[in-house]
Amino acid sequence: MPEHVHWLIYPQVAGTGKLIPISTILLSLKTSIARQVSKQLAPGSRIRKRHGMSPDPHTRGMRIWTTRGIDVNIHTPQKLRDKLDYCHANPVQRGLVDRPEQWTWSSYAYYQKLDTVPMAMDWEGSWPLL
């Protein structure tokens, strides 16, 4: 989505089953992305020039993320399927694409076994997750 993301994650240390707190994942991800966005929007950057943005935006302190997202604990296969279906349908409902597989960063193509998969998922869709 242009202004938000949907993640279905089950964060754990590879090979151990030890869970990683969502707050740790979000802090790491948001920090990394915010740094990259700030770098891309730095005064004099190509993006700023290309889009006619003023040369001195005072990007320091610019807010990239809201303070908190919405998290939902998923306890059943049906709830997981519902959330995955919602994520896949969201770009279509917003009018950004006509079909779910057209949204480049969706996992829809992966789960439908289509050839246009930008990145493989690490979950094959079985339950339980562990």
- The distance in angstroms from the start CA to the end CA of the chain is 29
Three-state SS annotation for 50-84: HCCCCCCCCCCCCCCCCCCCCCCCCCCHHHHHHHH
- Residue bearing the bigger pLDDT, 35 or 97: 97
- Using the predicted structure, report yes or no on whether residue 126 has a pLDDT greater than 70: no
Residue with tokens 């040369």: 55
Distance CA(116)–CA(53), nearest Å, equals 34
Tens of pLDDT, residues 2-49: 778 888 887 888 778 788 888 888 888 888 888 888 777 777 777 777
Distance CA(104)–CA(86), nearest Å, equals 16
